[in-house]
Structure 1
Amino acid sequence: MGHERATKGRLTRLAGVVAMVAALAACDEGAGGAQAAATPGAPPPPAVTVQQVTLTDVPLTREYAGRTQGAREVQVRARVAGILLERTYVEGQAVAQGDLLFRIDPQPFQVRLNAAEAGLQQSRAGLRQAERNWARVAELWQSRTISARTRDDAQAELDLARAAVAAAEAEVASARIDLGYTTVEAPISGVTSLEDLPEGSLVGTGADNGLLTTITQLDPLHVVFAMPEAERMRERGLLESGRASREGEDGRVAVEIVLGDGSVHPQEGWVDFTASGVDPNTGTIRARAIVPNPDHRLLPGQFVRVRAKGLVQNGVALIPDKALMQGPQGPFVYVVDGEDKAQPRPVTAGALVDGARVIEAGLATGDRVITGGVIKVRPGAPVQAVSATAAAPDGGTGTGTGEQQQEARR
């Protein structure tokens, strides 16, 4: 009996060991199966954001560095010599054309005018005497009672008297003009500078003592700038080929003036002059714009940015600038073909408009350009395309893992 119980105990322990081994084997098999199940297959196509191309007409703007200057700047000078008696304006004040600015002592010129008028009266009296004398001589000549020499002398006396009257009249006119020059008026409307000669000074008509003040016209104002020759030629080529057009019926180039703080001048101007030649030193073409300036916000000598408008490029595509790539053969973009594969497409890039790049050639309506997740794209590789309109508000693709969305945002 004891031997049978020992045998049963050994069998029981052996069965337990077998069961344990079987359990361990089952565990190893399960772990191997789980490991095999965790091994990934081929990675999924990368998620990218695409934008469908639509050809449209795009207004173009070009910016140039410019400098303001007065439309007209006139030096006000004395035209007669004398003592400066009075200045009638406040320095730096805006004056209108015809306003009185200075008074020069008029008394010497009034005396000269009086003397000239007296000389004129004397000449006219001499003319009347010569006319009466000629009338008597003419009657005597008809009766042949005087000689031809006497008649000729009377005729010469009459002619001299007439000439003396003409000279006296000219002298009176000259004296009257000089008297008028003793009041100096503003030749144009504008803003006055500091006076160069104070009241009580002896002014003259020379270069060193004749300048009284300077008037600068501020409304309108001129802005001078220069455009690169290549850009000007390219613009002309676009217009002549019909790939671009001008806005407006008059064909004028409208401009906006951007100040140093980034603000835009309220009034638009227009280009009124473009040089017919190229500056050989800079390779640029000089141009000028007229800008209304009723509130005198712009002042001469300011450095500004001139933003030329009115040029419309026809039938082009607009894509985000980040979608444009550079390769050994030039600029290109990735487009998604009908098999959802990314294919490089060479393009002709144009101007940058509000952060978007103009594509002049290489794209057609309906093409899907990759604009997000380009860094993960390989030529000819499949992609998971998501329209830009369906992308997440934060810039992701709206689908896929968080890592994919982060990459799309980049």
Structure 2
Amino acid sequence: MTAPTFRAIGAACVLFSVSLFLLAGCGNDSTAQEHAGGGMPPPEVATVTMTRGDLPLGMEYMGQTAGSREVEVRARVGGILLRRAYVEGGPVKQGDLLFEIDPAPFQATLEQAQGRLAQAEAKLSQAKRDLARMEQLFKGDVVSQKDRDDAMTAFETGTADVDSAKAAVKEARINLGYTKVEAPISGLTSKEARSEGSLVVASAESSLLTTISRVDPIYVNFSIPGPETMEFRSLREKGRIAFADGWDFQARLVMSDGRVLPSPGRINFTDTQVDTTTGVVKFRAEFPNPEGTVMPGQFVRVRLDGAALKDALLVPQGAVLTTQQGTMVWVVDDKGVVSPRPVVLGRTEGNGYLVEKGLEAGDRVISEGIIKVRPGMTVTLRGDAPAAAPQAAAPQAPAKAGEAQAAPAPKAEAAQ
């Protein structure tokens, strides 16, 4: 290779090195200018201001309706079922005739009992006359003491026979009356279980003739989980529950199509134990049903209104993070600096959680943009509103820089 060639290669290498140096210098100047300009702007987040107030408790449970009285109408004597005297599915009043069983055998039994009673009464009359004669003869020492005692025994036996015959007549008359099956209560009837001409046996399953349900008022049976019931009782004992009307809930009946019955009801039964198989506590509510709109056996929902949790604090669900150390939220101070705050949460209400520990009224919690922040970071506030404010929320403080004063959000809805 010639000398000019070596000189050309050396010049090219020197030129390439100088180019790399210049490019590196240009890159350093650009980076320095970017840092001098302030870098990336702080992330923008939305916050909510925590407020305290009375929080209405909205509780709704699945239930099933039942008649306030449900009676099985059964035959109390056996025999041939002669006729049905009611319209199946129609209303009846207490004492109305429903069925008639063949009365002829029972009429004959009654007449036999009446005949035996007449015989017993005749024998008693004879024994009474015999006793009177023996008393006179005994006073004149004509008969012995034994003869007098025998007459007394015959009279007492005759008296007992009359009483027994009277009871037999009464029983026969009662059984004859049972041949006319009457409605024990007023209500709506079901279809007949036995048709005319069937043999009814009083001691067997065939004694069931129909059922009657009283639908005004109507009952609704529902259940509440045991832990929830215990929690509510604890809050009530501590005085943290306030009722708008009296000392109990106002029940509302919600039909399957969403309609709500206009007349409110009340809880008239609460079980005293937790069901060991399902872990729930059984309740029963009573509702007026004068038009018979609600039928027994329907699946409905029971809404319990009228209760509020005093001095409650609600945080939106979207502001809560679950970590290995527990639940936490991001809190922003007056300078816009973010810090984590562990919290203890209670029951869920709508789109929020009740706060038991960790937050106080006036704290600002990040509700949107929580994935963009880190501890100690300064953020820009897009807006601030009260957190899912309960009713009667505390007054709001004047808006700070970067915050917008907003009206309280509806119950159990996170501010956006």
Which bracket does the TM-score occupy, shorter chain normalised?
A: 0.7 to 0.9
How big is the shift at 1:257?
A: 3.5
How big is the shift at 1:121?
A: 3.0
Q: CA separation in 1, counterparts of 2:243 and 2:44?
A: 41
Residues 1:355 and 2:355 are matched in the alignment:
no
Q: CA separation in 1, counterparts of 2:93 and 2:325?
A: 63
Aligned to 2:24: none
Cα pair 1:320 1:357 within 8 Å, conserved: yes
How big is the shift at 1:42?
A: 4.2
Provide Cα deviations, 1:95-135, integer angstroms capped at 9, x if missing partner.
23222211223233233323333332332233223222222
Question: Could you say if the C-alpha distance between residues 232 and 44 of structure 1 is closer, same or farther in structure 2, counting changes exceeding 3 Å?
Answer: same
Provide Cα deviations, 1:152-177, integer angstroms capped at 9, x if missing partner.
12101111111121112111111110
Residues 1:339 and 2:335 are matched in the alignment:
yes
Alignment match of 2:139 (pick from 100, 124, 142): 142
Query: What SS class does the counterpart of residue 388 from structure 1 fall into?
Result: strand
How big is the shift at 1:180?
A: 1.0
Cα pair 2:72 2:211 within 8 Å, conserved: yes
Residues 1:318 and 2:314 are matched in the alignment:
yes
Alignment match of 1:307 (pick from 303, 312, 320): 303
Greater CA drift, 370-379 or 165-174: 370-379
Query: What SS class does the counterpart of residue 118 from structure 2 fall into?
Result: helix
Provide Cα deviations, 1:70-106, integer angstroms capped at 9, x if missing partner.
3433221111223322212111112232222112232
Q: CA separation in 2, counterparts of 1:398 and 1:356?
A: 21
Q: How does 1:155-170 map to 2 (within 5 A)?
A: 155-170=152-167
Cα pair 2:385 2:404 within 8 Å, conserved: no
Residues 1:384 and 2:380 are matched in the alignment:
yes
Question: Could you say if the C-alpha distance between residues 398 and 43 of structure 1 is closer, same or farther in structure 2, counting changes exceeding 3 Å?
Answer: farther
Q: How does 1:18-57 map to 2 (within 5 A)?
A: 41-57=38-54
Aligned to 1:119: 116
Identity, % of aligned positions: 46
How big is the shift at 1:254?
A: 4.2
Aligned to 1:293: 289
Cα pair 1:316 1:361 within 8 Å, conserved: no
Aligned AA (2:210): T
Q: CA separation in 1, counterparts of 2:109 and 2:277?
A: 56
Aligned AA (1:63): E
How big is the shift at 1:320?
A: 3.3
Residues 1:88 and 2:89 are matched in the alignment:
no
How big is the shift at 1:229?
A: 2.8
Cα pair 1:221 1:291 within 8 Å, conserved: yes
Cα pair 2:384 2:404 within 8 Å, conserved: no
Aligned to 2:176: 179
Query: What SS class does the counterpart of residue 58 from structure 2 fall into?
Result: strand
How big is the shift at 1:349?
A: 2.3
Q: CA separation in 1, counterparts of 2:187 and 2:375?
A: 66
Question: Could you say if the C-alpha distance between residues 264 and 344 of structure 1 is closer, same or farther in structure 2, counting changes exceeding 3 Å?
Answer: farther
Question: Could you say if the C-alpha distance between residues 232 and 208 of structure 1 is closer, same or farther in structure 2, counting changes exceeding 3 Å?
Answer: closer
Q: Which runs of 5+ in 2 are unaligned?
A: 1-32, 387-395, 397-402, 406-414
Q: CA separation in 1, counterparts of 2:183 and 2:248?
A: 32
Q: CA separation in 2, counterparts of 1:247 and 1:112?
A: 65
- Kindly name which structure, 1 or 2, has the bigger radius of gyration based on alpha carbons: 1
TM-score normalised over the length of structure 1: 0.76
Q: CA separation in 2, counterparts of 1:201 and 1:318?
A: 67
Question: Could you say if the C-alpha distance between residues 55 and 217 of structure 1 is closer, same or farther in structure 2, counting changes exceeding 3 Å?
Answer: same
Provide Cα deviations, 1:238-275, integer angstroms capped at 9, x if missing partner.
333444455654x4454333333333344444444444
Q: CA separation in 1, counterparts of 2:237 and 2:182?
A: 50
Aligned to 2:14: none
Q: CA separation in 2, counterparts of 1:149 and 1:398?
A: 118
TM-score normalised over the length of structure 2: 0.75
Greater CA drift, 188-197 or 304-313: 304-313
Cα pair 2:63 2:300 within 8 Å, conserved: yes
How big is the shift at 1:285?
A: 3.2
Q: CA separation in 2, counterparts of 1:88 and 1:236?
A: 51
Aligned AA (1:52): T
Query: What SS class does the counterpart of residue 150 from structure 1 fall into?
Result: helix
Aligned to 1:369: 365
Alignment match of 1:234 (pick from 224, 231, 236): 231
Q: CA separation in 1, counterparts of 2:192 and 2:65?
A: 23
How big is the shift at 1:311?
A: 4.5
Q: CA separation in 2, counterparts of 1:228 and 1:311?
A: 18
How big is the shift at 1:185?
A: 1.0
Aligned AA (1:141): F
Q: CA separation in 2, counterparts of 1:259 and 1:380?
A: 52
Q: CA separation in 2, counterparts of 1:180 and 1:140?
A: 49
Aligned AA (2:377): A
How big is the shift at 1:350?
A: 2.6
Provide Cα deviations, 1:323-376, integer angstroms capped at 9, x if missing partner.
333333323333331223233322222333343432233222222333344444
Query: What SS class does the counterpart of residue 115 from structure 2 fall into?
Result: helix
Aligned AA (2:57): L
Q: How does 1:219-258 map to 2 (within 5 A)?
A: 219-245=216-242, 248-249=245-246, 251-258=247-254
Query: What SS class does the counterpart of residue 334 from structure 1 fall into?
Result: strand
How big is the shift at 1:184?
A: 0.7
Aligned to 1:207: 204
